[in-house]
Amino acid sequence: MKREVIGRDKVKAPETPHSPGIICGDLLYVSSQGPFDPMTQKVISGSIEEEARVALNNVTAVIQAAGFHMYNVAKVSVFLADANDFDAFNKAYREFFLAQGLSERDLPARTVVEAKSAFGCKCEVEAIVGR
């Protein structure tokens, strides 16, 4: 199976030992994206809704750099530093995907877990996308 790296030459990402995305066959695996400013690589601290929007925009940047589309996001994994942010995250998440042209019935499969971020952010998001 052909494997293609979506690296830092195509999308800005923190200087950690990972690739922002990997294409294997017809699937794109997007590494966990936090609320990082793509230019400075610093965490943009804010409300959970603000951090969620930035993280989701960073996921979108990898998807677009790979030539894939948001409509084909099959699975999203969400890591929340505080499970109490679940409802507020859901609001931002729903608004984000509806703004991408998806309907309520078209939203991707999803997992949400509480996990402390190594970067001190409130959330991180990763995705699996099909062609």
For range 109-129, the mean pLDDT: 96
Percent of the chain surpassing pLDDT 90: 86
Domains of the chain with CATH codes: 3-130 (3.30.1330.40)
73-80 and 109-114: which strand pairing?
parallel
Region 99-124 average pLDDT: 95
- DSSP annotation of 10 reads T
| pLDDT at res. 39 | 86
Q: What is the pLDDT of residues 11-63, one digit of tens each?
A: 887 788 899 999 999 999 999 999 999 888 899 999 999 999 999 999 999 99
| Residue 19 backbone dihedrals phi, psi, to 5 degrees | -105, 140
Angstrom distance (rounded) from CA 38 to CA 95: 22
Q: Is 67 left (phi over 0), alpha (psi -120 to 50) or beta?
A: left
Query: What is the rounded average pLDDT of the residues 83-98?
Result: 98
